[in-house]
Structure formats: structure tokens, C-alpha cells
């Protein structure tokens, strides 16, 4: 059974661990709160949990698919949330998914692909019974806050890599493989930014929609804090996207500038070589009547003309910075 944790709380205090097949009582005490955490359950396993907590079949189906976009849905007196996690695997941002069922007296989380467990969240809340006494809504806030905070190490790692590339591109042009890698990184950022934008919509609805069940007015301001964190993550991702684009643009401009320098140098040397070519071409025509053929200084004159003309053209190109 993929149950990572199953606990019963009352007024913020841990009462006991729940058994794997224990039925949740219909008539709960006002302060009762049941928290169940699952990791990649099979359809049969989640079906059993759904019967225990009365979860809606459509929500259960979405929780099993593990490839849903972030959203908030209401099923009677239950709240169903899909949140997306993020983990950096090499240069790839691997998204995970956490489905959360929030009822009047319970919270069920279903994780897929996320390497970060909720153990730290649970331990922190158990050390703060006053906070945990709020019930499922505060636990929901704590889990979402934990998920959003996990975005920032991923963003920091990508930012560090892009800044290194941005600094190096001024000295060394990117090769083809580095350019392809940068394009892949930019694609990952865009894909991640899209998910973060949807998570921002989730946080906004939880913070502003007064009709959502199982969220008390006293807890609602905490979801505005989540919205603020998601907004900062979205802003930083937009900045990273701009950095990646600017690095590509800068590399392209520098490459064009380097090609321009090479083109000017080739043009300058071609012009210099054109001087002796022209002179040699004239005197190589072998016409019978050419005054310089019988002149004693004809050969030195031709050499002087070649070197003098070439030197003058070289000086001119050197003066204007082409050589």
C-alpha cells in the first residue's frame, strides 16, 4: 500500500496513526482532522481510499492520470486541487504532480513523480498545534507553500548556469552544441513558466473565491501569501527567458561582428593583391611596341610601382582599421 502517512489529529494534536483499512467515522468531532498521504497509488488502491473518504469519482480519475494541469474544482463539500511540482534533472525540469482532496475533516494527498515528500511539512505543523488546529485548510496552505518553495532552487540553478553562459559569450562564441543546449534550456523555461502561471491562477482562486468549501476566512490570507510567492517565481522565470534570448541575440551579433571583421580583412588583402596583379597583367600582355620593354630601368620601375602601390593601399586600410 503506497500510504506514506495516515494520521488522526484532534485540535491540532496527534491522536494516533490510522490503520490501512480503517474507515473514517461519519460523525466526526469538531476538532477531528484526518491526514492521509499517498505516493503513486494503483487504481485499485486509490479506489479503496476513495470509498473510505467518499471522494468524487471524477476527481479520483484525475488524480490517477498524473498529467493534469493545475486547477481547483469543487465536488459538493469537497475541494480538489491539482498542483505541479518541479525537480531539476540535469538540464531538464521534471514536473511532478500532487493531487489534493480537502474535505470538512480530512486531507488526502496523492503524489506522482515528486521526489520531495511532505514529511517535513507534517513535522513542522505537528510542532505548531495552534496552526494545525485550523484543520485541512491550513494543511492545504502548508503543502502548497512547500510545493511553491520548491520552485526556487530550480530557478536558482538555471539562473546560475545562464549567467555563466552570458559572461562567457562575450569572450568566446557559442558553438553549435552550446546553442542547441541553450535553445533546449529556453524551451524548458517556457514550459515551466506556463505551469507556474496556472499555479498562480490556483493560488488566486483560493485567496479570493469566498464560495470555496473548507477554507475558513482566517486562513484565506495565507493563500494570498502563496499567490505572492508564485508571482515572484513567474517574474524570475520571465527574466530567465529574457536572459536566454539575450544570450542568443548577443552571440549572433558578436558572430556577425567577427564575420564582418574577417570580411573586411579579406577585402583589404584582395585590394592589396589587386595592385601587383594589375601591373603584372599590363606588362605581361607581350605587345611588340611597349616603351618600357627597351628601357633599362623598366624592371626596377615595375617592382617599385608594385611595392609602392601595394604599400600605399596597405597603409590606407591600416589607417581606417580594416587591418
Q: Are strands 13-17 and 3-10 parallel, antiparallel or unpaired?
A: antiparallel
What is the pLDDT, as a whole number, of residue 21? Answer: 67
Residues 167 and 275 in one domain: no
Among 228, 255, 282, the domain boundary falls at 255
CA distance to 48, 58, 177, per residue, from 54 (Å): 10, 12, 53
Per residue in 44-71, pLDDT (tens digit) is 889 888 988 889 999 999 999 888 999 9
Q: Which domain holds residue 16?
A: 3-255
pTM of the entire predicted model: 0.80
Residues 67 and 205 in one domain: yes
Residues 265 and 251 in one domain: no
What is the pLDDT, as a whole number, of residue 293? Answer: 66
Q: Cell 589607417 maps to which residue? A: 319
CA distance to 20, 28, 50, 175, per residue, from 23 (Å): 9, 12, 11, 62
Residues 122 and 264 in one domain: no
Among 233, 255, 277, the domain boundary falls at 255
Residue 318 confidence class, pLDDT cut points 50, 70, 90: confident
DSSP 237-297: HHHHHHHHHHHHHHHHHHHHHHHHHHHHHHHHHHHHHHHHHHHHHHHTS--S--GGGG-TT
Residues 204 and 298 in one domain: no
Residue 228 sits in a domain whose CATH number is 3.30.460.20
Among 1-10, 28-37, 232-241, top mean pLDDT goes to 232-241
Residues 141 and 215 in one domain: yes
Residues 190 and 284 in one domain: no
Residue 300 sits in a domain whose CATH number is 1.20.58
Per residue in 17-41, pLDDT (tens digit) is 887 666 676 677 888 889 999 999 9
Residues 10 and 134 in one domain: yes
Residues 164 and 284 in one domain: no
Strand residue runs (E) in the chain: 3-10, 13-17, 32-39, 71-75, 78-89, 92-102, 106-112
Q: Structural domain tally of the chain?
A: 2
Q: 71 with 198: CB under 8 angstroms?
A: yes
Among 224, 239, 255, the domain boundary falls at 255
Residues 233 and 294 in one domain: no
Q: Average of pLDDT values for 306-313?
A: 79
What is the pLDDT, as a whole number, of residue 221? Answer: 92
Residues 38 and 64 in one domain: yes
Residues 249 and 274 in one domain: no
Amino acid at each position: 500500500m503506497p500510504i506514506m502517512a495516515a494520521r488522526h489529529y484532534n485540535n491540532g494534536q496527534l491522536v494516533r496513526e490510522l490503520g490501512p483499512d480503517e474507515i473514517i467515522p461519519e460523525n466526526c468531532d469538531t476538532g477531528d482532522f484526518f491526514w492521509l498521504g499517498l505516493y503513486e497509488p494503483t487504481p485499485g488502491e486509490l479506489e479503496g481510499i476513495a470509498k473510505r473518504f467518499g471522494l468524487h469519482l471524477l476527481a479520483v480519475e484525475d488524480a490517477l492520470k498524473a498529467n493534469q494541469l493545475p486547477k481547483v474544482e469543487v465536488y459538493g463539500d469537497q475541494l480538489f486541487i491539482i498542483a505541479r511540482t518541479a525537480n531539476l534533472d540535469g538540464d531538464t525540469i521534471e514536473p511532478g504532480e500532487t493531487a489534493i482532496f480537502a474535505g470538512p475533516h480530512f486531507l488526502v494527498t496523492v503524489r506522482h513523480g515528486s521526489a520531495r515528500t511532505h514529511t517535513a511539512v507534517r513535522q513542522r505543523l505537528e510542532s505548531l498545534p495552534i496552526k494545525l488546529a485550523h484543520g485541512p485548510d491550513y494543511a492545504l496552505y502548508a503543502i502548497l507553500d512547500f510545493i511553491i518553495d520548491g520552485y526556487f532552487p530550480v530557478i536558482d540553478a538555471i539562473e546560475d548556469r545562464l549567467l555563466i553562459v552570458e559572461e562567457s559569450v562575450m569572450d568566446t562564441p557559442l558553438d553549435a552544441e552550446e546553442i542547441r543546449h541553450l535553445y533546449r534550456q529556453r524551451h524548458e523555461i517556457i514550459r515551466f513558466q506556463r505551469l507556474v502561471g496556472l499555479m498562480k491562477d490556483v493560488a488566486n482562486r483560493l485567496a479570493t473565491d469566498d464560495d470555496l468549501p473548507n477554507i475558513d476566512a482566517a486562513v484565506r490570507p495565507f493563500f494570498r501569501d502563496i499567490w505572492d510567492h508564485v508571482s515572484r517565481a513567474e517574474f524570475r522565470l520571465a527574466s530567465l527567458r529574457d536572459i536566454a534570448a539575450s544570450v542568443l541575440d548577443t552571440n549572433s551579433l558578436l558572430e556577425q561582428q567577427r564575420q564582418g571583421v574577417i570580411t573586411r580583412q579579406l577585402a583589404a588583402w584582395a585590394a592589396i593583391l589587386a595592385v601587383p596583379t594589375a601591373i603584372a597583367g599590363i606588362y605581361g600582355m607581350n605587345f611588340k611596341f611597349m616603351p618600357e620593354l627597351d628601357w633599362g630601368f623598366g624592371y626596377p620601375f615595375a617592382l617599385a610601382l608594385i611595392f609602392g602601390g601595394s604599400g600605399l593601399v596597405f597603409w590606407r586600410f591600416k589607417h581606417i582599421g580594416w587591418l
